[in-house]
Chains A and B, each alone.
Chain A
Amino acid sequence: MATIDVRNVCKRFGKQQVVDDVSFEVVRGEIFGLLGPNGAGKTTTIRMILDIFKPDSGTISILGGPMTEDKKDRIGYLPEERGLYQDISLERGLVYLATLKGLSASEAQKRIQTWLERFDLADHKNKRIKELSKGMQQKAQLIATLVHEPELIIIDEPFSALDPVNTQMVKDLLREQRDAGKAIVMCTHQMHQVEELADRLVLINRGQSVLYGSLDEVRRRYAGQDVIVRALAPLPASLPGVDRVERENGQYRLHLTSGTTVQDLLRCLVEENIPLEQFEVALPTLDQIFIQIVTREGEAL
């Protein structure tokens, strides 16, 4: 059973169609990337999943059915527009938010202490939140998202304001949560983070779902006619089916002519007795796919 099941969801604000027939599923034990340029409809989609907005049409099932008050305790949400109560101590603010998620005050206090130590914030627990740095506040926000051990975690731009050390810590944390069987929706425009972490993804552009599937599948779908080869001997000046060869960082990037398959090239290299160290289809990065799709959509309009 999917943790989130979004089917043909539409939402309009005034004359603007913000979300148009979007469908996707998120299952337990995966990091799901919700991608799209600014204004694509990602945040509205998340807000509909969380029942902040009602969709005009389509259905959303979360944790096995429509959203209820009890289910809110099983969800951890880190919104894009984030913040914490500024005038109270860090510990008090976190305990309050944790009790709103169904934890008793004593249990919340115990867990928050553990999290504060893990995030190196224990020494700052009595400070008022407004006295903390942006990065510290970001970590505190993550604690508020995870302290009640939610089954579903929805995080919007989780790495903003974090330095490389803390970014790595959060990445490890997300993998740990995934391995513990949690469903994680990561909303971001930082494609390299998605490539590193996400198992599956959906790309929304102008309110419509334009790409959906596993990361590998998507990259293969958008792979061109390029092959990367690293050989122990120089390649011949010309190879059948190859119209251009580029040398970069000790490896070759071979552009195949249309009609030539990767298997044709491999067979040719073997027949030529060229000792190979590496032979792989050059998969595009998500950045490249993203730009390709967004540009194509823009041209189509």
Chain B
Amino acid sequence: MKKFWLVFKYEYLRHVLRKRFLFGLLSVPLFIVVILGIGMISALLAIDNKPAGYVDQAGLLTITEVPGEEEGIFADPPLVAFPNEAAALEAIDRGEIGAFYVIPPDYLETGEVRVITREADSNLSQGRFTRLVRINLLAREGEAVAKRVLEGPQMILRSVDGTRETNESNFLSFLVPFSAGVLFMIAVNSSGGYLLQAVVEEKENRTMEIVITSVSPEQLMAGKVLGNLSVGLTQLFAWILFGVVGLWVAKNFFPFAENLAIDLTSVMLMLITLLPAFVMVAALMAMAGATATESSEAQQIAGLFSLPIVAPYWFAGSIMTNPNGPLATGLSLFPLTAPVALPMRAIVTNVPVGQVILAVVLLVLVALLALLLAARAFRLGMLRYGKRVTWGELFRSRRAVA
């Protein structure tokens, strides 16, 4: 057992202590931060926060402020009242406002409002002006009615059994399963890649015979699989941590993110599928490494296992529109597609508990089978320099191994 830990530690640290790993770890959140930052900077550069004016010739606007109106750089610019058009025009000339509205005396009959501006791209603060006009028109209906008319209904999507709900503004309920799937693929591919390399490397550099006369093939294989798997999990947990910190920052510093919440059902589904899926993919990669003669060949075989993982994204439209159809159900049960397809279905439907259990059981069984085959492939292929282990040999009796 002690030697298993030695192999585990060696395999884990040889990747984690490399600069390349740290760079890979930081590159994903850094990439997201840079993309968001560039987006925000370009939005800020495009924002024209110059106030807009209005001239109320109809005597309609007795209330001059909309209660609860958001202020800030992303909010509509404030509105300034002017007694007449001449004063408003002078304000435009002085650069104090970009544009102004003229509410004519017959507004209630015609509904027409003129907008006067020198520059076509001036920020008209149209949303704020519309709300101001509406709240004044509804002044006699009372504050509660006015608020309802202004805000419209708040839609809450709730499942039939009442166990889950989400609201329109919580885009995280969609984003999390999609992005977690992508992160899972990146992590599983990188740790799978490390594992492939680790298994083939000892054959390529001829260290194999020394190692297996020091440690049992089972301990060696287990140490390698779990060591390299932990590299991927470290990556994944670090990214989740970055995500949690990012969410906390967003909720506390950006008003639009106040209502964001993560759907725990999707997270639970991801957790129970990701771990066995991780073991399964890692074992398949190890098997590929053990059967191949050199790393380039192993990479090609491993590519076959990576493709099905992304398949649910190709069918995302079908899964979302028909989440309980045969395609969606099939993809969420098939072990290689389940880790991405199951949480994706859970966004839009309540996945039956029986299907979740079946998917997880299948995943665990395939993971165990893959581990068994990987150990067999390893024992068969460990001393075959330049000679491939065939699939036939892999499934034949254990006697051939000895």
Given A96-B10, A97-B210, are A81 and B385 also a contact pair (CB < 8 Å)? yes
Distance from A44 Cβ to chain B, minimum over Cβ atoms (Å): 10
Which residues of B in the span 208-247 have a Cβ within 8 Å of any Cβ on A?
Answer: 208-216
Is B6 an interface position by the 8 A CB rule? yes
Residues of chain B with a CB closer than 8 A to A100's CB: 3, 6-7, 211, 214-215
User: Which chain B residue lies CB-closest to A47?
Assistant: B383
Which residues of B in the span 159-215 have a Cβ within 8 Å of any Cβ on A?
Answer: 201, 205-215
Q: Are B210 and A77 in contact (CB under 8 A)?
A: yes
Q: Are A85 and B6 in contact (CB under 8 A)?
A: no
Partner of A85 from B205, B214, B216, B402 at Cβ < 8 Å? B205
Residues of chain A with a CB closer than 8 A to B7's CB: 100
Q: Are A50 and B213 in contact (CB under 8 A)?
A: yes
Distance from B382 Cβ to chain A, minimum over Cβ atoms (Å): 8
Partner of A72 from B6, B10, B214, B385 at Cβ < 8 Å? B214
A84 vs B208: C-alpha distance in the bound complex, in angstroms?
9
Is B14 an interface position by the 8 A CB rule? yes
Residues of chain A with a CB closer than 8 A to B10's CB: 96
A111 vs B214: C-alpha distance in the bound complex, in angstroms?
18
Is A206 an interface position by the 8 A CB rule? no
Which residues of B in the span 332-386 have a Cβ within 8 Å of any Cβ on A?
Answer: 383, 385
Which residues of A in the span 8-33 have a Cβ within 8 Å of any Cβ on B?
Answer: none
Residues of chain A with a CB closer than 8 A to B402's CB: 53-54
Distance from B218 Cβ to chain A, minimum over Cβ atoms (Å): 10
Which residues of A in the span 75-102 have a Cβ within 8 Å of any Cβ on B?
Answer: 75, 77, 79, 81-86, 88, 96-97, 99-101
Is A185 an interface position by the 8 A CB rule? no
Given A52-B383, A53-B402, A69-B216, are A79 and B210 also a contact pair (CB < 8 Å)? yes
Distance from A206 Cβ to chain B, minimum over Cβ atoms (Å): 21
Other contacts beyond A52-B209, A69-B215, A72-B215: 13, CB < 8 A: A47-B209, A47-B383, A50-B213, A52-B212, A52-B383, A54-B402, A82-B206, A83-B206, A84-B207, A85-B207, A97-B210, A100-B211, A100-B214
User: Which chain B residue lies CB-closest to A130?
Assistant: B205
User: Which chain B residue lies CB-closest to A86?
Assistant: B205
A97 vs B6: C-alpha distance in the bound complex, in angstroms?
10
Residues of chain A with a CB closer than 8 A to B210's CB: 77, 79, 82, 97, 144
Task: Report which residue of B10, B214, B385 has the largest number of chain A beta carbons within 10 angstroms of its beta carbon.
Answer: B214
Q: Are A81 and B6 in contact (CB under 8 A)?
A: no
Contacts from B to A (Cβ < 8 Å): 3, 6-7, 10, 14, 201, 205-216, 383, 385, 402
Distance from B207 Cβ to chain A, minimum over Cβ atoms (Å): 5
A144 vs B213: C-alpha distance in the bound complex, in angstroms?
12
A97 vs B206: C-alpha distance in the bound complex, in angstroms?
14
Partner of A81 from B206, B212, B213 at Cβ < 8 Å? B206
Q: Are B209 and A99 in contact (CB under 8 A)?
A: no
Contacts from A to B (Cβ < 8 Å): 47, 50, 52-54, 69, 72-73, 75, 77, 79, 81-86, 88, 96-97, 99-101, 144
Q: List 6 A-B contacts (CB under 8 A).
A: A47-B209, A47-B383, A69-B216, A79-B209, A85-B207, A97-B211
Residues of chain A with a CB closer than 8 A to B208's CB: 81
The 8 A-B pairs at the shortest CB distance, nearest first, are namely: A83-B206, A54-B402, A100-B214, A79-B209, A83-B205, A81-B206, A77-B213, A50-B213
Residues of chain B with a CB closer than 8 A to A50's CB: 213
Distance from A2 Cβ to chain B, minimum over Cβ atoms (Å): 20
Residues of chain B with a CB closer than 8 A to A52's CB: 209, 212-213, 383
Residues of chain A with a CB closer than 8 A to B206's CB: 79, 81-83
Q: Are A75 and B213 in contact (CB under 8 A)?
A: yes
A54 vs B209: C-alpha distance in the bound complex, in angstroms?
15
A97 vs B10: C-alpha distance in the bound complex, in angstroms?
10
Distance from A58 Cβ to chain B, minimum over Cβ atoms (Å): 14
Given A99-B6, A100-B3, A100-B6, are A84 and B385 also a contact pair (CB < 8 Å)? no
User: Which chain A residue lies CB-closest to B220?
Assistant: A100
User: Which chain A residue lies CB-closest to B214?
Assistant: A100
Distance from B377 Cβ to chain A, minimum over Cβ atoms (Å): 16
Distance from A177 Cβ to chain B, minimum over Cβ atoms (Å): 18
Residues of chain A with a CB closer than 8 A to B385's CB: 81
Residues of chain B with a CB closer than 8 A to A54's CB: 402
Residues of chain B with a CB closer than 8 A to A84's CB: 205, 207
Distance from A136 Cβ to chain B, minimum over Cβ atoms (Å): 15
A88 vs B6: C-alpha distance in the bound complex, in angstroms?
16
Distance from B1 Cβ to chain A, minimum over Cβ atoms (Å): 10
Given A47-B383, A96-B10, A100-B3, are A81 and B209 also a contact pair (CB < 8 Å)? yes
Distance from A142 Cβ to chain B, minimum over Cβ atoms (Å): 12
A273 vs B213: C-alpha distance in the bound complex, in angstroms?
63
A88 vs B10: C-alpha distance in the bound complex, in angstroms?
11
Residues of chain A with a CB closer than 8 A to B6's CB: 96, 99-100
Distance from B307 Cβ to chain A, minimum over Cβ atoms (Å): 29
A96 vs B206: C-alpha distance in the bound complex, in angstroms?
16
User: Which chain A residue lies CB-closest to B382?
Assistant: A52
Partner of B213 from A72, A88, A99 at Cβ < 8 Å? A72
Residues of chain B with a CB closer than 8 A to A82's CB: 206, 209-210
A16 vs B6: C-alpha distance in the bound complex, in angstroms?
38
User: Which chain B residue lies CB-closest to A144?
Assistant: B210
User: Which chain B residue lies CB-closest to A73?
Assistant: B214
A50 vs B216: C-alpha distance in the bound complex, in angstroms?
11
Q: Are B207 and A101 in contact (CB under 8 A)?
A: no
Residues of chain B with a CB closer than 8 A to A73's CB: 214
Residues of chain B with a CB closer than 8 A to A81's CB: 206, 208-209, 383, 385
A283 vs B269: C-alpha distance in the bound complex, in angstroms?
80
Distance from B188 Cβ to chain A, minimum over Cβ atoms (Å): 23
Distance from A90 Cβ to chain B, minimum over Cβ atoms (Å): 14
A81 vs B203: C-alpha distance in the bound complex, in angstroms?
10
A86 vs B383: C-alpha distance in the bound complex, in angstroms?
18
Residues of chain B with a CB closer than 8 A to A99's CB: 6
Q: Are B214 and A97 in contact (CB under 8 A)?
A: yes
Task: Report which residue of A69, A97, A100 has the largest number of chain B beta carbons within 10 angstroms of its beta carbon.
Answer: A100
A162 vs B208: C-alpha distance in the bound complex, in angstroms?
22
User: Which chain B residue lies CB-closest to A54?
Assistant: B402
Distance from A115 Cβ to chain B, minimum over Cβ atoms (Å): 16
Distance from B381 Cβ to chain A, minimum over Cβ atoms (Å): 13
Q: Are A88 and B14 in contact (CB under 8 A)?
A: yes
